Amino acid sequence: MNQQRPPTLVLASTSPYRGELLRRLEVPFEAAPPDFDERTMDTKLAALGVRKFACLLAAHKARSLAAQYPGRWILGADQLAVVSEDPPEVLHKPGTEERAMETLMRLCGRTHLLVTGVVLIEADSDRAYEAVDVHRLTMRSFSRDEAAAYVRQYQPLNCAGSYRIEDAGIKLFESIEGDDFTGIIGLPLLATAALLRRAELL
């Protein structure tokens, strides 16, 4: 009996949101956790700017799996919640309810950016294609009690910006501007599809 060949594409993420999004493109893939600590790159943010920095992180995630998956294409993505581009200031994933609350209150009534870098690399040659998706989001003014209730119920502790638009977090917003709403969830499918076509995977 012939053994089934593994998918050509590897997603360098175990995020259920990114996996669910990528399945919409109907390209077979397997998911694997990247062996990379994003915080080790923090010192490069100021020199690169947020857009190039997001792509750098995505590329490192993908390349961390290259030796493990020879002959495959590896897709990495990284999303940054950006308060300011000049000088660049990025909000990290909160990790705790207290930090999530502080993040939401800082964004309350203000505009911020979500910048998502996507990089597709060929493991054997290190050939790479990249794209950046940017959304401009404005939160309405809300009370600390409302923010606390949201955090307690939905636990957005592993989310840039401390919210999810897929759940009741959408109620915290006044406006959202961008080309592809899937980018807010974590993987901009229009940009990703374009990269996959360049690699002749789609």
SS3 sequence, 150-199?
HHHHHCCCCCCCCCCCCCHHHHHEEEEECCCCHHHHCCCHHHHHHHHHHC
Q: Is 78 a catalytic residue?
A: yes
Residue carrying structure tokens 């990703």 = 192
Which residues, including other chains, have CB under 8 Å from residue 72's CB and lie 6 or more apart?
6, 7, 8, 9, 10, 122, 123
Which token pair is 181? Answer: 């709403």
DSSP 8-state assignment for residue 140: P
Residue of 35, 37, 42, 78 with catalytic role: 78
Question: Across-strand partners of 75?
Answer: 11, 120
10 Å CB burial of residue 25 (0-12, 13-18, 19+) is: middle
Residues annotated as catalytic (active site), given as ranges? 78
